């Protein structure tokens, strides 16, 4: 993205020329129509580039608008093998040694070398070692309740304002009902404390086990991914407290709270096959026979993968659980047996061919 994007600049230059020639007399005043002008129009699609002067918010922003079903509004194309079909962002930086310098601060797009990238940069075409990368964040703006509110998994019916929940909804202490299947601003109108409350707006489509939040949100701009520290990259919670963080200097990863791993319960039968997506495998089957657990072969691709197999049902003292890898060894043998009540096995792939205990 540090190479000049000639094709993009050409397009911008031509558009600028059209504006200058056709509308130079209006440079100081915006016209009365909502858009400055319609540059491209046909019988089916009306595409407009102009200033949305009818908007109360940011009326001086340049707008590309069109009714183009199934297509993008803007395409950037660079045919040079060494080029970038990308958009760069230039601006000043009050912390720079030259605060008025118009350097590249970020870019997003496709490199014809085969990479799509989002870049936070400090670039002036000199590769100056004295300029650290730009700080940045990925931000969410909107209304949420940092506590998460009360969550229920309910059944919603398209067009109906009544929902059915597995347990009673809160009787109070919240202002809005939120679900991606409900229009924004939905509130409870009746049925507080029951399993079939009535809402102010109907569901948009049929859905079972829809996540519904009963909460009191506040509007804010929240940094979800925060790159503003030159060392740490942080992921933040809704209340802006730290969720996870990793240091690019010490090569460490910090979790502010508990960690949740995949857990799968074997509730019936006498055999199971684990995959690399497993972590905890909990045997609770009441089948009155010995159990077998087949696990993947250990290989370099899954080096460090950990599996924990547990006798959750407390029957291994009578009906053992035999763990066998597809190839290689486990705990220095062809198989590993759990034969004590409530027993467990915790093994890790060594990246060669063996599952080792730890």
Nearest to 32 by CA among 48, 14, 47, 51: 51
Q: Which residues pair with 88 in a beta bridge?
A: 107
Q: Say if residue 176 is in the same domain as residue 238.
A: yes
Q: How far apart are CA 323 and CA 335, in angstroms?
A: 6
Phi/psi for 341 (5° steps) reads: -60, 125
Lowest model confidence (mean pLDDT) among 111-125, 179-193, 304-318: 111-125
Nearest to 45 by CA among 61, 69, 27, 25: 69
Q: Which phi and psi angles does 125 have, rounded to 5°?
A: 75, 15
CA distance 301 to 350: 10
Q: Is the pLDDT of residue 31 over 60?
A: no
In a domain, 315, yes or no: yes
Looking at the structure of the chain, the number of domains it has is 2
How confident is the model over 106-123, as a mean pLDDT? 92
- For the whole model, what pTM was predicted? 0.71
State whether 242 and 339 are in the same domain: no
pLDDT tens digits, one per residue of 67-85 = 778 888 888 999 999 999 9
Tell me 150's DSSP state: E
Question: Residue 30: what pLDDT?
Answer: 35
Q: For residue 284, give the DSSP letter.
A: -
pLDDT tens per residue across span 205-226: 999 999 999 999 999 999 999 9
The yes-or-no verdict on residue 237 having pLDDT over 60 is yes
Residues 146 and 245 in one domain: yes
In this prediction, residue 68 carries a pLDDT of 77
Q: In what order do the strands lie in the sheet with 207-215?
A: 150-156, 207-215, 176-178
Cβ-based neighbour number of residue 192 at 10 Å: 16
Which band of pLDDT confidence, cut at 50, 70 and 90, is reported for residue 126? confident
Q: How many of the other CB atoms lie within 10 Å of CB of 290?
A: 16
> Domain end: 257, 284, 306, which one?
257
CATH code for position 289: 2.60.120.640
Percent over 70 (pLDDT), the chain: 86
At which of 227, 257, 287 does a domain end? 257
């Amino acid at each position: 993205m540090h190479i000049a994007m000639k094709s993009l600049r050409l397009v911008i230059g031509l558009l600028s020329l059209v504006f200058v020639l056709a509308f130079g007399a209006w440079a100081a005043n915006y016209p009365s129509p909502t858009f400055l002008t319609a540059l491209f129009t046909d019988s089916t699609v009306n595409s407009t580039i102009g200033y949305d002067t009818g908007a109360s918010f940011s009326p001086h922003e340049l707008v590309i608008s069109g009714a183009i079903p199934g297509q993008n509004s803007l395409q950037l194309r660079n045919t040079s093998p060494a080029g970038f079909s990308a958009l760069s962002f230039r601006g000043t930086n009050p912390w720079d040694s030259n605060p008025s310098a118009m350097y590249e601060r970020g870019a997003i797009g496709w490199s014809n070398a085969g990479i799509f990238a989002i870049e936070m940069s400090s670039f002036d075409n000199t590769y100056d070692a004295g300029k650290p990368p730009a700080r940045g964040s990925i931000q969410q703006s909107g209304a949420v309740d940092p506590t998460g509110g009360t969550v229920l998994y309910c059944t919603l019916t398209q067009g109906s304002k009544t929902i059915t929940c597995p347990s009673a909804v809160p009787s109070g202490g919240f202002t809005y009902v939120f679900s991606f299947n409900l229009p924004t601003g939905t509130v409870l109108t009746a049925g507080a404390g029951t399993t079939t409350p009535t809402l102010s707006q109907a569901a948009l489509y049929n859905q079972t086990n829809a996540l519904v939040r009963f909460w009191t949100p506040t509007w804010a701009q929240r940094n979800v991914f925060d790159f503003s520290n030159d060392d740490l990259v942080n992921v933040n919670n809704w209340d802006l407290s730290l969720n996870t963080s990793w240091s690019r200097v010490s090569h460490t990863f910090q979790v502010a709270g508990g960690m949740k791993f995949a857990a799968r319960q074997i509730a019936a039968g006498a055999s199971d096959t684990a995959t690399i997506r497993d972590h905890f495998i909990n045997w609770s089957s009441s089948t009155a026979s010995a159990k077998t657990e087949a696990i993947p072969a250990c290989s370099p691709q899954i080096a460090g993968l950990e599996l924990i197999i547990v006798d959750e049902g407390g029957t291994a003292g009578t009906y053992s659980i035999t763990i066998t890898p597809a190839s290689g060894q486990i705990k220095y043998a062809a198989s590993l047996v759990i034969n004590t009540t409530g027993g467990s096995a915790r093994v890790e792939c060594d990246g060669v061919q063996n599952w080792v205990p730890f």
